[in-house]
Structure 1
Amino acid sequence: MNKNKLLAIFVFQLFCQNYLLSQTQPENYVFFNLDRELIRNASFYDFRQFAGAQIKYTWRSLEREKDVYDFSTIEEDRLFLLSKGKKLFIQIQDVSFSSNIRNVPNYIIEDPQYHGGINSQYEFADDNDNNPRETGWVSRRWDRAVAERFHKLIMELGKQFDGKIIGITLPETSVDFGSTGKYYPIGFTPEIYREAIKANMNATHLAFNQSMVIQYVNFMPGEWLPWDDKGYLSSLFEYAELLKIGIGGPDLIPYKRNQMNHGYSFAQKYQGRIKLGFAVQEGNYNQKNEQTGWTLTVQEIYDFAKNYLKTNYIFWYPEEPYFTRDVKPLLLREIR
C-alpha cells in the first residue's frame, strides 16, 4: 500500500474519531439546589432523558455538632433516586450568597481556634474597593484549622458514599474581597487561597476514588484574565489533570466575555483530558448572547455545552417557564 493511501486512511480515521467525539452526548441532570424534595415529582423521575439529580447539602446540615455527622438526607435521596433508576450528584456547600445565611456549623463560628470560621464577601462600587456591600459568607478555606474540619467532613462522606453516588461537586472558587487588599480577611492572600483550593481538591480525590469528583472553577481572586494572569486559575486545571478529577462551574452562559476569558477558556483546552460538568443555574436562561445581542435560547446553551465545551455533564436548574417549555422538549429531540 503506497504512502498516499496510508495517509488518506489515517486522515479519515482521525476525522471519524473527532466526529464521534463531537457527537458524544453529555449526561443531563436536574440541579435542584437545596430543594431536595422535588426529586419526588414524577415529572422528573419519569423523564428518562435525565440521568439523575444534583443536590446541595450544606456543611452545617451534615455536621450538626463537632464530629457529629448526619448523612441521613443524602442516604434517603440516594435510595429514592436508585429506586427510580436515577443517579445522585452531591454538592457540599460551605458558602452562601446572602448575608443572612451561614452554611458552616456553629462550632466553626464560635470556637476561637477557627478565627471566626467564616468571612463576608463583598460587592464594591469601583476598583478602589469603596462602598462595600456584603453579599454572603464563605468559610475560611485558607485557614488550616477550618480546612482540616472540612477535609474531615469529606473523608466521612467518602467512607459512606464513595462508589454509591455518581459524583461530588465542590462549590465555585470565586470569592470577592476586593482587589486592593483593604478587605482581605486575616491570613488570606491569593497564593494561600490557591493552595487551599488544591488541598480541597486533593482531600476529595482521596476520599472519593470511585465516584466522580468535580471542582467548580470559575474565577480566582488576585488575577483577571487575560490582562493580569498570575497562573492561579490555570494551575487548578493542571492539578485536576494530575489528580484525574473533573472541573466545572456554575452559570453556563455561552459566550459571556468574563467566563470566556476564564473558566471556559481552560475548559476548552482541557476537554478530553479531564471530565467537565457545568450548571445552568437560576437566572442563566434569560441572559444575553453576547455574540448575537439576543436573549439566549436553550438550544444555544445546549449546543455550547455539547460542542464548544464538550462537557460530560450538564446540570439544569428547573426554572420556569424555561424548564418545561424549552429544556425538556430539547432533550426529547436530542436524546433518543
Structure 2
Amino acid sequence: MRRGVFRLLACGALFASGLMSLGSAAARPVNFIFLGGEGLASAGNLLKRPDIVGFQVVYSWRQLEPQKDHYDFSAIDADLKRADAAHKKLFVQVQDRFFSRSARNVPEYLLHDPAYHGGLAPQTDHAGEGRPVGHGWVTRQWDPAVRDRFQHLLTALGKRFDGRIYGLNLPETAFDMDEKHPPAGFSCDGYFHAELSNMAAARAAFPHSHVVQYVNFWPCEWNDSRHYMSRLFAFAIQHHIGLGGPDVVPWRKTQMKNSYPFFHADHDRLPLVAMAIQGPTLTYTDPKTGKPFTRAAITAFATDYLGADILFWTRAAPWLKQSPQ
C-alpha cells in the first residue's frame, strides 16, 4: 500500500456522510439506473423520471487512461454535465475486470511492458441462472506494479471529481480461476490485501464523495473460511467505506454462505449499502412462485435483510416500462 493512504482516511470520513446525504431513511432504498458503459446520452426519458435519483455508469481503465499517465475523463465530464442538468446523481464504476475474451480493456502499456507481467489474468464468469459459463479477464491487482498504476488512476480521478460525483465504486471481489493452475504470482492473501489497498486508495482520493466496494465472493474462500469477508467488512466500517454487490437474489444459498449475512449484521455500521440488480439477476426464479423475482420481492429483501440504501437497477427491469407511480 502506498504511504499516507491510511493517514488520510480518518479526515476523509468526516466529510463523506454529510455532503453526500441521501436524505430521510424512511425513503430508502432509492433507485439508480445501471447504464453499463453506454453513459447518460443513452438514458432518454429515464432522466425525467422522478422515481430515479441517479445513474451508475461503467468506465473501463483503458477508456480513462488511453496512454500511460495520459488521462481522458471526457466521458465522465459529459455524463456529469447531463446528470447535473437533470438534477440527478452520478455513480462512477471504475472497471478493472471484463467478461468476454475480446475485452482486454486495460491500457496497452500494461499488456506489453514486461514490468506488468501481461496486466491481465484469465477468469470465468457465471452470468446468471441457466446461462453458459463465460470467459474473460481480471486485472492483476495482486501485482504491486499493476496495483500502483491503478491507484494512480484513482488519485487522478479524485483530483477531478471528488465532491462532484455522488460516488465511486470498485468492482466485485469475486473472480473464478483455474485453482489447479492459478495465475503467475497470484496468492489468496495477496489478492485480498490488494483489494483492501485499493479501497483505501479510493477513500483517500475521494474524501467528499461516497466510495463503495462491491463484495460478493472471494477466491479461495467459502463461508468466511479464511476470514476475508469478515475482515473486509471490519475494514470498511473502520475506514468509512460503503459496500455493495452486483446482485440481489433473495435467500440464494451461495450468497447466504458469503456476503449476505455480513450485510445483514453490519449494514447499520456502514456509511452506505448499494446493491445492484443487473441483467443476470433477472434470470433467477423465485422458488415460491416458479417465476422471476418481482420488484417487490427484490426490494423487500434488499431493504429488510441487506439494509440497502441504493438499488442500482438494470434498465431492463420490467417496472421501468411502466409510468412512475
TM-score (norm 2): 0.86
Distance 1:53 1:249 in 2: 16
Aligned pair in 2 of structure 1 residues 245, 123: CA closer, same or farther (>3 Å)? closer
**Which residue number corresponds to residue 304 of structure 1?**
301
Q: Which one of the candidate residues 79, 82, 89 is aligned to 1:80?
A: 82
Give 1:23 shift.
Answer: 4.1
**Which residue number corresponds to residue 96 of structure 1?**
98
Q: Deviations over 1:256-312 (max 9, x none)?
A: 111122111111111110011000000322411245554311110111112221211
Which residues in structure 2 correspond to 1:95-174 (within 5 Å)? Answer: 95-122=97-124, 135-174=135-174
**Which residue number corresponds to residue 9 of structure 2?**
none
**Which residue number corresponds to residue 257 of structure 1?**
253
Distance 1:66 1:162 in 2: 22
Q: Is the 8 A contact 2:99 2:136 kept in 1?
A: yes
Q: Is the 8 A contact 2:125 2:175 kept in 1?
A: no
Give the letter for the 2:33 counterpart: V
Distance 1:258 1:323 in 2: 28
SS of alignment partner, residue 282 of structure 2: coil
Distance 1:265 1:38 in 2: 37
Aligned pair in 2 of structure 1 residues 290, 243: CA closer, same or farther (>3 Å)? farther
Give 1:22 shift.
Answer: 7.8
Q: Is the 8 A contact 1:45 1:84 kept in 2?
A: yes
Give 1:322 shift.
Answer: 4.9
RMSD: 1.9
SS of alignment partner, residue 214 of structure 1: strand
Q: Is the 8 A contact 2:275 2:312 kept in 1?
A: yes
**Which residue number corresponds to residue 216 of structure 1?**
214
Give the letter for the 2:309 counterpart: N
Say which structure, 1 or 2, has more relative contact order (CA 8 Å, 6+ apart). 2
Computing the radius of gyration over CA atoms, which structure comes out larger, 1 or 2? 1
Instruction: Show structure 1 runs of 5+ residues with no match.
Output: 1-20, 125-132
Which residues in structure 2 correspond to 1:176-255 (within 5 Å)? Answer: 176-178=176-178, 181-225=179-223, 229-255=225-251
Q: Is the 8 A contact 2:99 2:125 kept in 1?
A: no
Q: Deviations over 1:135-172 (max 9, x none)?
A: 10011010000000000000000000000000001000
**Which residue number corresponds to residue 17 of structure 2?**
none
SS of alignment partner, residue 181 of structure 2: coil
SS of alignment partner, residue 285 of structure 1: helix
**Which residue number corresponds to residue 30 of structure 1?**
33
SS of alignment partner, residue 35 of structure 2: strand
Distance 2:183 2:147 in 1: 15
Give the letter for the 2:122 counterpart: S
Q: Which one of the candidate residues 262, 265, 270 is aligned to 1:269?
A: 265
Q: Deviations over 1:200-234 (max 9, x none)?
A: 100001000100000000000111126xx110111
Aligned pair in 2 of structure 1 residues 123, 324: CA closer, same or farther (>3 Å)? closer
Equivalent residues, number: 295
SS of alignment partner, residue 248 of structure 1: strand
Instruction: Show structure 2 runs of 5+ residues with no match.
Output: 1-23, 127-132
SS of alignment partner, residue 93 of structure 2: strand
Q: Is the 8 A contact 2:275 2:310 kept in 1?
A: yes
TM-score (norm 1): 0.83
Give the letter for the 1:282 counterpart: G
Give 1:27 shift.
Answer: 2.0
Q: Is the 8 A contact 1:117 1:139 kept in 2?
A: yes
Distance 2:215 2:42 in 1: 26
Q: Deviations over 1:225-250 (max 9, x none)?
A: 26xx1101111111101111100000
Aligned pair in 2 of structure 1 residues 316, 168: CA closer, same or farther (>3 Å)? same
Aligned pair in 2 of structure 1 residues 66, 111: CA closer, same or farther (>3 Å)? same
- Say whether 1:314 aligns with 2:311: yes
Distance 2:165 2:213 in 1: 16
Distance 2:25 2:283 in 1: 27
Q: Is the 8 A contact 1:33 1:54 kept in 2?
A: yes
Give the letter for the 2:233 counterpart: F
